[in-house]
Amino acid sequence: MRIVLVGPPGAGKGTQAAFLAKNLAIPHISTGDLFRANISQGTELGKAAKAFMDDGKLVPDEVTIGMAKDRMGKPDAENGFLLDGFPRNVVQAEALDEVLKADGVKLDAVLDLEVPEDEVVKRIAGRRICRNDSAHVFHVAYNAPKVEGVCDQCGGELYQRGDDTEDTVRKRLEVYHSETEPIIDYYRAQGLVITITALGKVDEVTRKAMDALRREA
Ligand code: AP5
Ligand code: ZN
């Protein structure tokens, strides 16, 4: 399957993507994770992206689209993928359409995770991520690790993302409404959007998402 996951910052895209990708046996492609990996490795791409991310703004399309295309071109993505955080504006959605068209394939669904803004802010404020693997995501209250500051899955150190400050989160929400939400209409016109309320326990949301995707398949 080829799926796009969309939703405001902190909606639980990364959390759900880890389970959905595993259940569907497709790679989880997160442009945010790719940028963060480039930043920690000190690459030119990481240097180009860092200031935009710290400000809560979108990284320019020419950087992002090239990186996403490269990743989608890897052999493991040949038969499907779960895109998390890409596309994030209409220009990127059009670029994705071109890639799919060139490969003679189509998206199966756009899964839209709906979460009220006050909940999103609480989720982001308490989020902690593993230094070894960004798919290991915790929350100090909702999904606390057994030992404070230590990843349950690999023993790695947990940290708080630099763009998870109150001011930056507000900016990211603003950018989501003005630049990313329009892609929901773009995909709605293609009949691809499935909206689910992503409240409740993580496994309940996964079940809801899997049920909705199965109905589409
Ligand atoms: P990115 O990394 O994509 O961040 P985001 O979209 O802001 O989303 P988040 O990672 O903040 O949240 P999430 O929805 O994944 O939530 P999570 O699962 O962690 O992008 C970061 C930056 O990179 C952007 O601002 C931009 O600068 C740049 N960028 C990335 N892609 C780009 C693109 N295509 N174009 C241009 N720029 C781009 O969950 C949040 C917390 O909630 C966790 O603590 C989790 O444990 C908890 N939680 C999850 N589910 C539940 C639940 N059901 N109940 C209770 N708690 C829950
Ligand atoms: Zn870990």
All structural domains of the chain with their residue ranges: 2-115+174-216
Is 170 in the active site?
Answer: no
State pTM to two decimals: 0.95
pLDDT tier for residue 27 given thresholds of 50, 70 and 90? very high
Ligand that lies nearest to the alpha carbon of residue 209, given by its number in the listed order? 1
Helix locations, 28-165, DSSP H:
31-41, 44-55, 61-72, 90-103, 117-125
Q: What is the pLDDT of residue 179?
A: 98
Is 127 in the active site?
Answer: yes
CATH top-level class of 2-115+174-216: alpha beta
Q: Dihedral angle at the C-alpha atoms of 66, 68, 95, 53, nearest 10 degrees?
A: -80
Q: What is the pLDDT of residue 138?
A: 94
Is 13 in the active site?
Answer: yes
Ligand that lies nearest to the alpha carbon of residue 153, given by its number in the listed order? 2
- Catalytically annotated residue among 2, 71, 123, 127: 127
**Per-chain mean pLDDT for the chain:** 95
Tens digit of each residue's pLDDT (9 = 90 or more) over 36-55: 999 999 999 999 999 999 99
Q: What is the pLDDT of residue 38?
A: 95
* Residue, of 110 and 169, whose pLDDT is higher: 110
Question: Candidates 20, 50, 123: which one to mutate for ligand 1, based on the most atoms within 8 Å of Cβ?
Answer: 123
- Rounded to the nearest 5 degrees, what angle is found at the Cα of 149, between the Cα atoms of 48 and 161? 20
Is 172 in the active site?
Answer: yes
Tens digit of each residue's pLDDT (9 = 90 or more) over 71-91: 999 999 999 999 999 999 999
Eight-class DSSP state of 76: G
Q: What is the pLDDT of residue 134?
A: 84
Q: Annotated binding residue at 73?
A: no
Q: What is the pLDDT of residue 215?
A: 86
Tens digit of each residue's pLDDT (9 = 90 or more) over 125-136: 999 999 998 889
Residue whose CA is closest, atom 12 of ligand 1?
A: 10
- Rounded to the nearest 5 degrees, what angle is found at the Cα of 41, between the Cα atoms of 37 and 44? 95
Which residues are near ligand 2, the ion (C-beta closer than 5 Å)?
130, 132-133, 136, 151, 153-154, 156
Query: Which residues, including other chains, have CB under 8 Å from residue 99's CB and lie 6 or more apart?
Result: 69, 72
Select from 68, 118, 73, 121 the least CA-distant residue to 92: 68
Q: What is the pLDDT of residue 67?
A: 97
Residue whose CA is closest, atom 21 of ligand 1?
A: 32
